[in-house]
Amino acid sequence: MSGMYGMNIKMAIYGESHGASIGLVIDGIPPGLKLDLEAIEKEMARRAPGKNQLSTQRKESDSFAIQSGFFEGYTTGTPLCVVIKNSDQHSKDYSILKDKMRPGHADYAGFVRYQGFNDYRGGGHFSGRLTAPLVFIGAIAKQALAQEGMLVGAHILQIADIKEENFNPLGIDDKTVAELAVKEFAVLDDAIGEKMQARILEAKADLNSVGGVIEAMVTHVPAGLGAPYFDSVESRLSHALFSVPAVKGVEFGDGFGISATTGAEANDTLHFEDGKVVADTNHNGGITGGITNGMPIIFRACVKPTPSISQKQKTVDLQKQENAELEVHGRHDPCIVHRARVVVDSVTALVLCDLLSQKFGTDWLGEK
C-alpha cells in the first residue's frame, strides 16, 4: 500500500486534507521508549501553517492525540496510534477543481489513478497536509537517535535564485544543529535569509510561487549501516524523501558535480585518528557501497514551486471535455521550502532509526 513505509519500524498514514482528521499508526516501537511530548509539539508547530505571510493562512494547530501504545510517559510496545484533527477547511474554495485540473498538481494523475473517486478538496490524500504525521514520527525518531548521540540538522540552502553557503561536508557542530532546529526560517546566514523571504513575498505579490533546496546532514553516524544495491542507504533515504510532496530531486555528497571530477579528486582518502578510520574529505556524502562509512551523511533535496497559483493558466475541463483556463483561489503557500525543512529532517531520522533497527533490532530504542 502506498500509505505504508518501513522495514522494521513500520508506519501507515491516513487521511485527506479536508477530511475529519489525518494520522498514522506506528508498529515496531519497543516498550520503554520515553516520549517527550513537549518536544514533539514543538516539532509539529514548526511545520504547521498559518503563522506568517510566507505560508498559507489556513490555521491548523497540528495538535495530536495518542490513542494507543503509550502509557504513563512510555511506549508500551503495541502499535502507537495518533490522530491529528483538521479544523480549518474551506472546501468551497476547491469546488472548481472537481473538473478543472491544476497544472503541476496531482489532480489529473489522481483522477485517473482512482477513477474519479478521489477527494479533490485541498488535494485530498496528495496534500502536503499529510506531512504532519511524518513530522510526528520524525520527532520520536530524533529523540531515539539523540540517545545514541546522532543528530539530524537541515537548513534552507536556496530559495529561487538566492543561495547561502553549504554545510561543511566534514560535519557541523551540535550547537549549529540545535540553533537551526528552533529557527522559524532555518538558514545559516540570517542576512541571506531575509533576501530569501523577500523573494517569496515578491512571488506571492505576483500571484506566483517559488521553490528551493534543503540541505540536510546526520552527524555522529556509525559505519556499517545499510546494505549494497536495493537496500543502500541512498535508496532508503531517497524512497522516503521522494514521498514528501514536491521533492523532485535528491543528491548525496557532491551529487551530480562529482561527475566532472577525476577519481583522484572524488576519492575520500583515509587515515587513522585516535584508533578510528576517518576520511580526509566527504565527497561521497558519508555513504560508500550503499553503506555508511562513519562520516556525516549529507544530501540535498530539491523542492519545486507550489503548483497552486492564482495566475491564469491553461488546463482542461474533464466534465466538459474541453480546453479551459484556471485561476486558483483560496489559501496556498507561495513557497513550501521553509515548512518542508522539518519534514525532510523528520523522514531522515525515521530512515536512520529503521536502519539501526535492521542492524541491532528495535530494542536499542528503549530507555537506556
Residue 88 has a pLDDT of: 57
Residue 62 has a pLDDT of: 81
Residue 27 has a pLDDT of: 94
pLDDT greater than 60 at residue 368 = no
φ, ψ for residue 188, nearest 5 deg:
-80, -35
pLDDT greater than 80 at residue 134 = yes
**Who wins on pLDDT, 95 or 220?**
220
Mean pLDDT value across residues 19-35: 90
SS3 category, 15: strand
Residue 366 has a pLDDT of: 63
Least confident of 71-75, 126-130, 301-305, 334-338: 126-130
Assess contact for 101 and 316: CB atoms under 8 A.
yes
The DSSP 8-state label assigned to residue 29 in this structure reads P
**What share of the chain has pLDDT > 90, as a percent?**
68
Angstrom distance (rounded) from CA 209 to CA 81: 35
**130 burial class (0-12, 13-18, 19+ CB within 10 angstroms)?**
buried
Assess contact for 123 and 130: CB atoms under 8 A.
no
SS3 category, 207: coil
**What share of the chain has pLDDT > 70, as a percent?**
92
Residue 345 has a pLDDT of: 95
φ, ψ for residue 78, nearest 5 deg:
-90, 165
DSSP string, 106-118: SHHHHHHHTTT-S
pLDDT greater than 90 at residue 287 = yes
Residue 146 has a pLDDT of: 93
**284 burial class (0-12, 13-18, 19+ CB within 10 angstroms)?**
buried
Angstrom distance (rounded) from CA 112 to CA 219: 42
Condensed to tens digits (0 to 9), the pLDDT of residues 320-349 reads: 999 998 888 776 789 999 999 999 999 999
Question: Residue 153 pairs with which residues in a beta bridge?
Answer: 217
Condensed to tens digits (0 to 9), the pLDDT of residues 137-190 reads: 999 999 999 999 999 999 999 999 999 999 999 999 999 999 999 999 999 999
SS3 category, 288: strand
Condensed to tens digits (0 to 9), the pLDDT of residues 245-280 reads: 899 999 999 999 999 999 999 999 999 999 999 999
- Residue with grid cell 502499535, as numbered in its chain: 79
Give the domain ranges of the chain: 4-360
Work out the number of other CB atoms within 10 angstroms of the CB of residue 322.
8
DSSP string, 307-345: S--SS-EEEEETTTTEEEEE---S---S--HHHHHHHHH
- Torsional class of 141: left (φ above 0), alpha (ψ -120 to 50), beta (otherwise): alpha
Per DSSP bridges, beta strands 70-71 and 74-75 are antiparallel
Q: What CATH architecture is 4-360?
A: 4-Layer Sandwich (3.60)
